């Protein structure tokens, strides 16, 4: 009898920033280890699966990957206090649990492949890989006698934060806001972090989001049934944190650093920005983007525009409408609402004055291709982990401009520990002024800048480390092989 290949189900939370690394994990398991993958997509009636989400799952190799789109859940009863993107992501996952249970039960009851099975017969389901936003899925999986894993699409420091959150909660007990902590937070493998640099979405200890996070953290710490934590990172970028995690979980749950998992195979048509980059000098362009959800206030967009102009450097800027209420207002949105005219909210005459030297494109750019283009020499980024890894893989140095989630934590590491980024300073009112922006841009981009030279050299070294981690005998390749071997052993039992 032929041994069946392992079949796993993966459940990313809504939002393309989580779906991309989940899909890339699936791609590598399928192509390099013969694993079969079912990816389960959750959504809501007000945020259906975006075109970007559909493109991500449609790019996966067939026939060994299948996608299940669950019925969208409703938020008609949602209170304003739970209407933020983070709360909506968690609620989308929790309200999808009945549908998730139905799909997993159906997959778990599928008969195993044998030597006489047809190609259309699915392999047996052996494991479930859940997003950290969906801890309840782990109980469903265990009830169906399936092995459970948690995949952190972000880095090892984010995992470490969640595993230490119950202890941090005790330390922070006298304070309502984490930013009010009087002493830096020191955890194994971390640089010292101020309370205000910790996860932005759970700064307020009184919020439902914070309380859910503490409950999830306690679950992760105490649940001995979790077989492993998979992180989108690699040893050289977070060696001390990963070693500390592995020591903490020694003999229990296994830590698998399998990154960098970055988006591949962007099959978009040639875009305006790529054609424009073709006509710029090598390494001369600063790419400016705040990810799939980041937004700036009207005043900050104005300051950034003038800073770019004053710097005298070439730039490619992915522009979104300003939002004065939220730094992640676009996180779950699938695209611009109607035509987006940058001239509507950029300073008068800015586009005309910077024509030829700069290009502002609305809402989206093929980021992987932009960062891999020879004309791109720097990246002003929100420090989301997907963007950070793409920058590392392409060897593009950074200007760190964190907005939300774990991005301030990432920025501290990128600037202070890895020294691959520069960071502009905000004023007392929270605004980063045009003069500061221009100075930092010139420091990164100009050949005569000693600061820029140091950052560029460190990023080149980190790019080499990322390449080595993914090589045939690299640390991430070995970690993925160990994970795949464990999955294959489940089908043999």
Residues with a known catalytic role? 18, 131
Give whole-number Cα distances, 58 to 53, 404, 463, in Å: 9, 29, 29
- Give me 1's structure tokens: 């009898």
Beta-carbon contacts of residue 418 (< 8 Å; ≥ 6 apart): 237, 458, 462
Burial (CB count within 10 angstroms: exposed 0-12, middle 13-18, buried 19+), residue 429: exposed
Torsion of CA 234, 237, 241, 242, to 10 degrees: 20
DSSP 447-470: TT-HHHHHHHHHHHHHHHHHHHHT
Contact 70, 40 (CB under 8 A): yes
Contact 236, 465 (CB under 8 A): yes
- Give me 121's structure tokens: 């017969």
Strand order in the sheet with 226-231: 65-69, 36-41, 7-11, 125-130, 147-152, 226-231, 254-257
Contact 162, 184 (CB under 8 A): no
- Give me 111's structure tokens: 């008969």
Q: What is the phi-psi region of residue 465: left when phi exceeds 0, alpha when psi lies from -120 to 50, beta otherwise?
A: alpha
Q: What is the phi-psi region of residue 319: left when phi exceeds 0, alpha when psi lies from -120 to 50, beta otherwise?
A: beta
What is the 3-state secondary structure of 56-108? HHHCCCCCCEEEEECCCECCCCCCHHHCCHHHHHHHHHHHCHHHHHHHHHHHH
Residue 266, Cα to own-chain centre: how many angstroms?
17
């Amino acid at each position: 009898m032929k041994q069946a290949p392992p079949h796993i189900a993966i459940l990313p939370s809504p939002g393309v920033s989580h779906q991309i690394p989940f899909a890339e994990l699936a791609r590598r398991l399928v192509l390099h280890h013969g694993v079969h993958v079912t990816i389960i997509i959750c959504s809501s009636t007000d945020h259906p699966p975006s075109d970007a989400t559909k493109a991500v799952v449609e790019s996966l190799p067939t026939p060994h990957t299948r996608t299940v789109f669950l019925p969208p859940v409703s938020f008609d009863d949602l209170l304003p206090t739970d209407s933020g993107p983070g709360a909506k992501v968690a609620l989308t996952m929790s309200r999808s649990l009945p549908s998730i249970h139905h799909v997993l039960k159906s997959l778990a009851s599928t008969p195993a492949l044998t030597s006489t099975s047809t190609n259309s017969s699915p392999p047996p389901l052996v494991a479930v890989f859940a997003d950290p936003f969906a801890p309840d899925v782990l109980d469903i999986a265990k009830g169906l006698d399936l092995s459970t894993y948690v995949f952190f699409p972000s880095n090892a420091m984010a995992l470490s934060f969640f595993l230490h959150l119950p202890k941090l909660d005790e330390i922070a007990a006298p304070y309502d806001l984490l930013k009010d902590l009087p002493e830096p937070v020191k955890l194994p493998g971390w640089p010292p972090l101020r309370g205000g640099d910790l996860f932005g979405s759970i700064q307020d200890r009184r919020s439902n989001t914070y309380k859910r996070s503490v409950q999830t953290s306690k679950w992760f710490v105490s649940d001995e049934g979790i077989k492993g934590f998979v992180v989108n990172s690699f040893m050289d970028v977070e060696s001390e944190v990963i070693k500390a995690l592995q020591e903490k979980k020694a003999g229990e749950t296994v830590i698998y650093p399998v990154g960098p998992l970055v988006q591949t195979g962007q099959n978009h048509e040639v875009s305006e920005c790529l054609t424009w980059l073709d006509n710029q000098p090598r390494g001369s362009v600063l790419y400016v983007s705040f990810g799939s959800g980041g937004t700036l206030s009207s005043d900050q967009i104005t300051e950034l525009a003038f800073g770019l102009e004053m710097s005298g450097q070439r730039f490619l800027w992915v522009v979104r409408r300003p939002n004065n209420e939220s730094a992640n207002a676009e996180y779950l949105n699938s695209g611009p609402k109607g035509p987006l005219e940058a001239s509507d909210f950029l300073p008068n005459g800015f586009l005309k004055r910077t024509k030829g030297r700069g290009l502002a494109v609305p809402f989206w750019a093929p980021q992987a291709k932009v960062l891999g283009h020879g004309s791109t020499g720097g990246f002003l980024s929100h420090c989301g982990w997907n963007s950070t890894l793409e920058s590392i893989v392409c060897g593009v140095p950074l200007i760190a401009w964190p907005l939300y989630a774990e991005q301030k934590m990432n920025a501290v590491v990128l600037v202070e520990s890895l020294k691959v980024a520069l960071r502009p300073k905000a004023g007392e009112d929270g605004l980063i002024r045009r003069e500061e922006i221009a100075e930092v841009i010139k420091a990164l981009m100009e050949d005569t800048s000693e600061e820029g030279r140091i950052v560029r050299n460190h990023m080149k070294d980190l790019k080499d480390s990322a390449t080595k981690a993914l090589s045939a005998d690299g640390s991430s390749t070995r970690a993925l092989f160990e994970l795949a071997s464990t999955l294959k052993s489940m089908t043999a039992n």
